[in-house]
Amino acid sequence: MKVCNGNKLLISQLIDGELSPEEELQLRDHMGRCPACRAYYEELSFISGHMDDIDFPDDLHASIMSAVEQSRGGGKKPLCFRRKTPPVIGAVAAAIMIVFAGVIGVKSGIISFGSSGKPYESVNMSGSAETADLMMAPPQMSLKQADGSRADEEASDGEDGGGREIEEKAGSSYPVTIDSTMTGWFNSAEGNVTVLKQIDTESYTDSGEELTARVEELSAALDGQFSGYGFYMVAFGQSQDLPDVFADQAGDVYPGMTLLIDVKNDLSVREQISCSMTENGFDVYDDQDGEYFTINAEAEDGLVIIELDGE
């Protein structure tokens, strides 16, 4: 027996209650006369009905609440209750570091970084000694606010009280060797990574339009003059928080996701890398190598443009 032509789709929709009353009546009438279609409907209904037919652990609720509670007590404040306007430079510093972790981390394994002021202990990278030194200390970076102003503020570690000055230097760049990337997009390169621009997202998380305009401005300003790759770190956001120019291309976006964007050419989203929450932050996975690096949970949503020469 064969299901009548076109009815597989209709039967699936019937199970989902997605047919109009007329369509449903017609299909049910047909199934009353057609054993093949009726059997198909019963089989699909059976499968659909058993997909969530599982038993639940008795301690499901308690174990979830306990895990949430433990996550609160892990030394980090719960992020959802943090103040709405964190220090801009703190966010910038975190985002800048994402670039380095993003570029170098694949080869390096776990790189922890953040606002603790501690050295970056886990770094074992394949770059030069200068590169390693770079990672052992807060970087000197070039940064520019979205509105074009310079950031001459002193970064603070806030609650840690450790305090750390971020000295701004235009065009700072750092030598790196990249043996592989998280995407395979460029496989091997040696050159300088330059932080060209970082857009603070705090001002645009509530306004996609504003950010879209800024990204377009940025794109126009860059005008294909450099080999730029952007990392858009979606630490907290949802799809609707993304600027339109990215949202239109991106699939679903979750908190903890990183978008790798081709800033040089067309602002296309080249890769979406999902991350998983850990005690320390996010683990970002490299699909190809199965290695990962860690992004501190205090990171903010943000777009960081880097230049990689010597590609």
Can you give the binding site for other proteins, defined by CB under 8 A?
A: 1, 3, 8-9, 11-13, 15-16, 18, 36, 39-40, 42-44, 46-48, 50-57, 60-61, 63-65, 67-68, 71-72, 78-82, 205, 236-238, 240-241, 250-252, 254-257, 274-277, 283, 285, 287, 290, 297
- Beta-carbon neighbour count of residue 242 at 10 Å? 23
* Residue (66 or 188) nearer to other proteins, CB: 66
Cα distance between residue 162 and residue 173, in whole Å: 26
Shortest Cβ 34–other proteins spacing (Å): 11
Q: Residue 68 or residue 170: which is nearer to other proteins going by CB? A: 68
Q: Which residue has the tokens 């776990």?
A: 110
Query: Shortest approach of other proteins to residue 291 CB, angstroms?
Result: 11
CB of 223 to other proteins, least distance (A): 29
Residue with smaller CB distance to other proteins, 75 or 148: 75
Through-space distance between the first and last CA atoms of the chain, rounded to whole angstroms: 60
**Would you say 57 or 148 has its CB closer to other proteins?**
57
Which one, 143 or 275, has the nearer CB to other proteins? Answer: 275
- Taking the least distance from each CB to other proteins, the nearer of 60 and 129 is 60
Nearer Cβ to other proteins (22/55):
55
CB of 119 to other proteins, least distance (A): 26
Structural tokens at position 114: 């953040």
At its nearest, how many Å lie between other proteins and the CB of residue 44? 5
DSSP annotation string for the chain: --PPTTHHHHHHHHHTT-S-HHHHHHHHHHHHH-HHHHHHHHHHHHHHHHTT-----TTHHHHHHHHHHHHHTSSS--GGGS-SS--HHHHHHHHHHHHHHHHHHHHH-----STT----TT---SS-HHHHHHHHSPPPB--B-TTS-B--PPP--GGG-------B-TT-EEEEEES--SSSSS--EEEEEEEEEEEE-TTTTT-HHHHHHHHHHHHHHHTT-S-EEEEEEESS--GGGS-HHHHTT-----TTEEEEEETTTT-EEEEEE-EEE-SSEEEEE-TTT--EEEEETT---EEEEEEE---
C-beta of 161: minimal distance to other proteins in Å? 22
270/259 Cα distance (integer angstroms): 7
Q: How far is the CB of 54 from other proteins (least distance, A)?
A: 5
Could you tell me the smallest distance in angstroms from the CB atom of residue 143 to other proteins? 23
Pick the closer one to other proteins by CB: 74 or 119: 74
Rg of the chain taking only CA atoms, in angstroms: 25
